[in-house]
Structure 1
Amino acid sequence: MTEFPVFDGHNDLVLRLLRGDVTAEGVASGLVDGHIDKPRAHRGGLGGGMFAIFVPSPGDKDVRHEEMRHPPYDIPLPAPVFEAEACEWTERGFAALDDLERAGAIRRCLTASAVEAGLRAEEMAAVTHIEGAEAIDRDLERLHLWHARGLRSLGPVWSRDTVWGHGVPFRYPSDPDIGPGLTEAGKALVRECNRLKILVDLSHLNAKGVEDVARITDAPLVATHSNAWAICPHARNLTDRQLDMIRDSDGMVGINFASAFLRPDGRMDAEFALDIPLRHFDHLVEKLGEDRVGLGSDFDGALIPEGITDCAGLPNLIEALQSHGVDDGLMAKFTHGNWLRVLHRTWGQ
């Protein structure tokens, strides 16, 4: 492990297992592709993170990525996913996390103290996150059931609309002020997440949805994998007004490595220098302060800059930050300390 173990706010490794691309045993022993496995996590200092359970939309992701290589673009949102389908997929996601734990790749963590203790352990410290709440029933019974099984973080939407609210499309250039925010059901979902101490993720919500969460929640505002709109004017990124709300709540933002959300030109192209994510880092630190910025890579769910490539490349980013003037105190906050702070505050431990 490196001097600065990383807690990462978002990855999609579970999706690769559910699609049959990899096995839990392969993740534990080492893979030839993708962004995360246990050996590379050790080399890169990835001590843990939010492991997302995400229900994919029908259609070809490669087609969307090709469109995003040629800005400007405005890709229609996928159709909503039916609750029964989402529920089945989410149950499989919990089973996949169980498989990863049995294989020795991860250790499931239910408290911030467990995350802190696990960052230098043999297995990755894993927090269960659901990205897009289509699988949650209106009576919120599954929210309680899955909380009891380890759910500690939830995004009400993944871009496509749900019964809970409205997300942002993959649109460049565009601000995130697109459409209505949370539904009444979505507001009730946020209140119940507050009561259960489940982190509510702002990433993928549109501007009015973020405002709705800010009015309702009694927890810090957190965007687990989003960037600065001032640097890359993509609908998925956060405006300065949104950053002000996050700062005022003592929340935080995890920097997303997705190329199209980093590059000022919005292109889905990984060939660029690491000075671009450093520009997002500088802007976020300026707007939020040193205690409210971390990492939210989107490993295994995005096209990652060639200077990082996968989790074994995290030291390249750390070296770039050190050359940029980031001292050891801020580096410790950025790589894991700020996440531990906000998890302690959100989960009440």
Structure 2
Amino acid sequence: MGPVVRFAATPAGRVAYTVTGSGPPLLCLAGWVSHLALMAENPQHERFFDGLARSRTVIRYDKIGCGLSDRSRTDFSLDVELATVRALTAHLGLDRFALFGSCEGGQVAAAYAAAHPDAVSALIVYGSCARGGDLAPPAVRASVLDLIRAHWGLGSRVLTDIWLPAAPPPLTAMFARMQRAAADAATAAALLEMFYGCDVTALLPAIRVPTLVAHRRDSRAVPFERGRELASLIPGAQLAAFPGRMQPIYAEEPGAALAALLPFLGSAGSLPGPLTAREFQVADLIADGHTNPEIARRLGISARTVDAHVEHVRTKLGVRARTQIAVWARRPA
């Protein structure tokens, strides 16, 4: 059973989103097309995001026109994408959060960080570029768009081959099916055309939040040089290179990606302060199912002191419920 899907109103329609994990919020912007329900069926995809959710409150959504969000869309522009982020974060009451954007979502995340530095604690851009027009020559871009519009089944298979070269047949079949289910041919072409036409070059020097740019060294979809250039245009950005050819961050060695992303998020200051030894004890006893009075008796301290420790743990972990503390305490080391 996949995560619970909820909906929020935006100027362009209702956006479908999920929330998993606990801790400081991390808003994830998908690339070209997505489908929350079908992507949850991919074990590699879920393992990667489960890894993030061990220490983050991970928020994912389908952009307007895709997946489980409202499908009716006529305005395919960066402004609509930015308005969606603003509406969703306002709906969730997020004053400050980290942003993680993949591919086209990386451009949107970068533009949002440039415009809202006080709201963004850290920025991660994966597999993206400054100018979508650099992804292929004009004739190639036009041919790909024509193919999608003329024969979406064939177009989805061609794009899968670009994104997942030499992947096992079950994975390529799943990915192609997800693309076709995520959007109809006209919307898929319009969204890809938006990616091709998006240019955030002028916005990148204005980014003033800690930034990590990550990229596959041998990606066929977005060449590594495009990611290197993007990182060079953001002041103080770090560049992380992952081995492999498959574009999705979860498709090859997701553990290596998590090993780069999680320490960066921590060093960027979005993680809560460390728990004290006593707070660790309290969290561990909560995970064992003990009430506050029981914890007080076991530790030989007052119930009021335990109450204070529990509040400190909640604040440092960025959680509200005792069950969230228990999940954190029993997470894999």
Task: Report which of the two has the higher share of helix.
Answer: 2
TM-score by length of 1: 0.34
Comparing both chains, which one has the higher relative contact order based on Cα–Cα distances under 8 Å and sequence gaps of 6 or more?
Answer: 1
